[in-house]
Amino acid sequence: MGQNDLVKTLRMNYLFDFYQSLLTNKQKNYLEFFYLQDYSLSEIADTFEVSRQAVYDNIRRTGDLVEDYESKLRLYQRFEKRRELYNLMKQSLNQPELLKQYITQLEELE
C-alpha cells in the first residue's frame, strides 16, 4: 500500500466515523469491510453474493458521497483543526498570550 493509499484510507476511516449514520446499511457494510477490515473487493463480493464491479461501484459512490457530506458539513476539517490547536496549546502552556489566541480560534470553530 502506497503513501497516498494509506492517507486516503485514513481519511475515509475518519469520514466513515463522522458520517456513517447518514449511510444505508449496505453502504456502511461495504465501507466497513473495505476500509476498516481491509477486505478485498472479491471477498466483499463473495460475502454479499454480488459482482466485484458492483462492490467497486458502491464503494466509489459512497466515498464520493461522504466526501460531499464533508465539503458541506466540514466535521473532519474542524476535528483536525481542533486537534492541531490542542497540540499547540500543550506546547504553549507558559505563554498566556498564545493560549488566548488558541482559545479564541477554538471558540470560532464551534
Residue 9 has pLDDT above 70, yes or no: yes
Please tell me whether residues 92 and 46 are part of one structural domain: no
Please tell me whether residues 12 and 63 are part of one structural domain: yes
Please tell me whether residues 41 and 82 are part of one structural domain: no
- Contact criterion met (CB below 8 Å) for 43 and 33: yes
Residue 25 has a pLDDT of: 98
Please tell me whether residues 21 and 61 are part of one structural domain: yes
Encode pLDDT of 47-105 as tens digits: 999 999 999 999 999 999 999 999 999 999 999 999 999 999 999 999 999 999 999 99
Range of the domain at 35: 3-73
Q: What number is the average pLDDT over the span 12-17?
A: 97
Half-sphere exposure of residue 72, counting CA atoms within 13 Å on the CB side? 7
Q: What number is the average pLDDT over the span 17-28?
A: 98
Q: Which residues contact 23 (CB under 8 A, 6 or more apart)?
A: 31, 62, 65, 66
Please tell me whether residues 37 and 64 are part of one structural domain: yes
Please tell me whether residues 37 and 50 are part of one structural domain: yes
pTM metric for this prediction: 0.85
Q: Which three cell numbers stand for residue 37?
A: 477490515
pLDDT band (50, 70, 90) for residue 1: low
Please tell me whether residues 67 and 81 are part of one structural domain: no
